[in-house]
A and B are shown apart, each in its own frame.
Chain A
Amino acid sequence: MNKPFAITLDVRSSLANHTGMWRSERPVYTAGLPPCQHACPAGEHVQAWLYAAEDGSYESAWRRLVQDNPFPAVMGRVCYHPCETACNRAELDSAVGINSVERFLGDRAIDAGWRLPDAAPATGRRVLVVGAGPCGLSAAYQLRRLGHEVHVHDAGEEPGGMMRHGIPTFRLPRDVLDIEIARLADLGVTFCMNSKVTDLRETMRAGGFDAALIAIGAQLSRRAYLPAGQASRVLDALSVLGSVADGERPGLGRAVVVYGGGNTAMDAARTARRLGADDAVVVYRRTQAQMPADRQELDEALAEGVRIKWLRTIAAVGEGSLTLEKMTLDEAGLPQPTGEFEELAGDAVVLALGQDVDRSLLDTVPGLRVVDGVIEVDEAMMTGSPGVFAGGDAVPTDRSVTHSIGHGRRAAVAIDSWLRRQDPPAQRQERDPVPYSGLNTWYYSDAPRSVRPRLEAARRTDTFGEVVGGLDEDTALFEARRCLSCGNCFGCDNCLGVCPDNAVIKLDGANHYAIDLDYCKGCGLCAAECPCGAIEMVPEES
């Protein structure tokens, strides 16, 4: 008798019994749409690069990130991070500090000298990009990667657009910007600076370009008529910020009034403080709730001693002082004058009332339509002029670096199809992002959000040095690991463990799993116990 110890009967293994036949539903591994990715205007695959960062593979994380956005170090400083607003973790304790991890990766890449992947073999196609702001640069990067020859023409001396001429250095140090832009030159993007395009079709013809992208931003400061005496100084925010960015230190006086309620107003007021103003006052016609400025920008400004006058308009500007009119909100929430006035000291008034798109170039492009002051584009970012695309602040959009980068990427994809005489890739079917309720949050550990170091408020007003610091490596790793991995397997082995029928197989010892349908009875335990909702139960066809 040659039988195993303690076994007396001839047996067959139960493996002969295919209990998978009982099943009416089968588990399927899915990759859901994480809310962060859904919310990112640049289209970053946030969960995917956080996943890579979680095991310390910072370079792979950075490489995943730059597939969608070539400027992580810039973005990790200036993005208003709608991803964090959407992050599911906010419901558990607080959102993942996506933006601070992004900055960590961006800075790591700079320190380590990581290079962008090489361009694809040359296609022989040439694309003209007008404007070296984030939109133009993002498009140039994507087009270059695809192997096209890309020439970026910009009227300015150096590339960067508002990232260079608008955003103050205390939020975005220029060496960071320079390095990230220099990578595009290394990749083979041709920069033609000091070259304002005045006739698009002519420039395209002369340069033999097959397509063009208009990414000229909104460069014209909006003015307001202010009855002003001779001596008073009325400036616009963009020229003040632009000259400071160029290294000048214009004296604005001791009391500076900034007119407007957006981010530009905040930057102008914070800059005024650094230029020596004892009192920097923002005058805004509406209330805080209606203010377009990012909450964090407002907080930083307040921390630096900037004062805000809500519900006020400037009625007149005199010498060393100005007259404000108090406003009140009507039922529709619109500010209405009250006829009540007050005086405010002010040596200079800085207007930050928004920007308009310069039409002079646009009017040279046949077929291109301008509606409400911005360029009309279709789904694929193409204007009414075939082969001419547009994006960034010059088209209808929320105006931000992040949106512009997203436009640039989308336009590049569409231009690429256009060059290859193909239809632009079909808009991906809108999927719903994975909801918080789709997670089994029991499994996640409590972990409070990390906070970035900040320059002490008292020390900020005498330096243009960076205010917000980066996370150290341990903290960045911790923060990355707070990600719940919404809708995407992160290799926790729960499914492998909880199946009463051993029907989950781990492939290659790696974090890939499969269902053994010979034995899966379709109980749904694996799906229910997957922390991140990466398994879906789908009915079997009978």
Chain B
Amino acid sequence: MTQTAKFYQVGSRAVGNRLLPLDQRTEQANPERRNALTSGHRACQGCGEALAARYVLDAAAHAVGGRLVTVNATGCLEVFSTPYPESAWQLPWLHSVFANAASVASGVAAGLRTTGRGDIRVLAQGGDGGTVDIGFACLSGMFERNDDVLYVCYDNQAYMNTGVQRSGATPGGARTATTEAVGAEPGNLFGIGKDAARIAIAHDIPYVATATVAELHDLEAKVRKAMSIRGARYLHVLVPCPLGWGSATSETVRLARLAQRSGLFPVIEAEGGVVTSALPIRGRVPVEEYLRPQRRYAHLFRGEGRPDLVARVQRLADQNIVRYGLLDEES
């Protein structure tokens, strides 16, 4: 029996891998990576949003040879990176207000195009509050006009910067400062909120994708693909937040991985309104494994617990698995 040694322990699952050809390693493994968001920022320990922002911007900047401008909505990412006079950004970066990142980005793109600098690309970014709630009209407009912007939402599932209030992306059952763990249905209500990726797909824009901080190769490939396309593009990245989720700072990546492996957070891609790929679940886990380490779900497990509510969460995961065929090519 002859085996061909095409992999190295971790295959292409890790950030780098000393034996993988350089072009198959991630941008984060590149010793010359840009560090678009550099050290000294004031994000919490283990912040998933800080991590994702560097992942996304380093990959995007690399894809377009550094000709990149970013527009930031208000939120943690903006606040922790730019307390005056410090900035952690190592690329041109603009902030205006909470609601209008998408519009500002559209304007920047239009301005660049009309001044003959259309080679400079525009990336807008914001939290889930800034994206699915307060900035939603601007975002939808940007989609409808098919403006040449990649909009990235870092989804930590609440308004973290102002003290963990519920957003339209907060999942059912989760405790926030405004959805306390009291009453018959503690935590956030089930059946409300928005699935921003599906709404974006419904705009039939050229490219929509979801990703997490746990699958770096997948995330970078999606950013590269997005930057190879002109027009409105949307990327929705799940970014665990140790503060808001009540999780250990070292668990940020693991929780993102469990969100995907449970089916709660489907990692997908769509082009022109059609879903074209879904990251298969490798080693499915029950949602409980994902929920338990997070204090925002502690009330589901305290005392006798609320198996009924855990079951509701499980149903959501099961639905996703069916909707996107997440178990089809289990590997």
Contact = CB atoms under 8 A, between A and B. Distances in A.
A501 B251 CA distance: 15
B253 A518 contact: no
A497 B17 CA distance: 11
A527 B250 contact: yes
Nearest to A4: B92
B14 A492 contact: yes
Contacts of A509: 31
Contacts of A519: 39-40
Interface string A75-110: 000000000000000000000000000000000000
Contact of A481 (B5, B31, B257): B5
B9 A523 contact: no
A14 interface: yes
A501 B39 contact: yes
Contacts, number: 186
A496 B46 contact: no
B249 interface: yes
Interface stretch (A284-292, A398-406, A439-447): A439-447
A501 B25 contact: no
Contact of A502 (B1, B39, B251): B39
A511 interface: yes
A445 B250 contact: no
Contact of A523 (B2, B3, B14, B249): B249
A481 B81 contact: no
A92 to B, nearest CB: 11
Interface string B21-49: 00001101101000100111111011110
Contacts of B29: 493, 496-497
Interface in B79-113: 81, 84-88, 92-94
Nearest to A448: B3
Interface stretch (A17-25, A148-156, A165-173, A427-435): A17-25
Contacts of A330: none
Contacts of B85: 9-12
B19 interface: yes
Contacts of B8: 54, 481
B170 interface: no
A422 to B, nearest CB: 39
A427 B329 CA distance: 52
Contact of B39 (A15, A481, A511): A15
A511 to B, nearest CB: 5
Interface string A489-532: 01111101111111100100101000010110111110111010
Contacts of A500: 43, 46-48, 50-51, 54, 252
A445 B10 contact: yes
Interface residues of B, number: 57
Contacts of A502: 35, 38-39, 54
Contacts of B40: 13-19, 519
A479 interface: yes
B69 interface: yes
A482 B9 CA distance: 5
Contacts of A4: 92
B162 interface: no
Given A22-B45, A519-B39, A524-B250, A475 B2 contact: yes
Given A444-B10, A500-B51, A478 B87 contact: no
A14 B11 contact: no
Secondary structure type dominating chain B contacts = loop
Contacts of A14: 38-42, 81, 86-88
Contacts of A518: 39
B86 A17 contact: yes
Contacts of A19: 39-42
B224 interface: no
A16 B39 CA distance: 9
A54 B17 CA distance: 12
A498 B253 contact: yes
A5 interface: yes
Contacts of A474: 2-5
A490 B9 contact: yes
B216 interface: yes
Nearest to B331: A446
A490 B18 contact: yes
Interface string A463-478: 0000000001011011
A450 B9 contact: no
A450 B51 CA distance: 39
B45 to A, nearest CB: 4
B13 interface: yes
Nearest to B26: A497
Interface string A35-65: 0000000000000000000110000000000
Interface string B216-230: 100000000000000
A523 B54 CA distance: 17
B9 A483 contact: yes
Nearest to B8: A481
B249 A524 contact: yes
Give me the 10 closest cross-chain CB pairs, A-B, nearest first: A493-B16, A497-B15, A524-B250, A14-B40, A491-B18, A523-B46, A6-B92, A14-B88, A478-B3, A519-B39
Given A6-B92, A497-B26, 8 more contacts: A6-B69, A22-B45, A442-B13, A485-B9, A490-B9, A492-B10, A492-B17, A501-B43
Interface of A: 4-7, 9-19, 22, 54-55, 442-445, 447, 450-451, 453, 472, 474-475, 477-485, 490-494, 496-503, 506, 509, 511, 516, 518-519, 521-525, 527-529, 531, 537
26 contacts: A10-B85, A12-B86, A14-B40, A17-B86, A55-B18, A443-B10, A445-B10, A474-B5, A475-B1, A478-B5, A482-B9, A492-B17, A493-B17, A496-B28, A496-B29, A500-B43, A500-B54, A511-B18, A521-B46, A523-B46, A523-B250, A524-B249, A525-B46, A527-B250, A529-B253, A531-B10
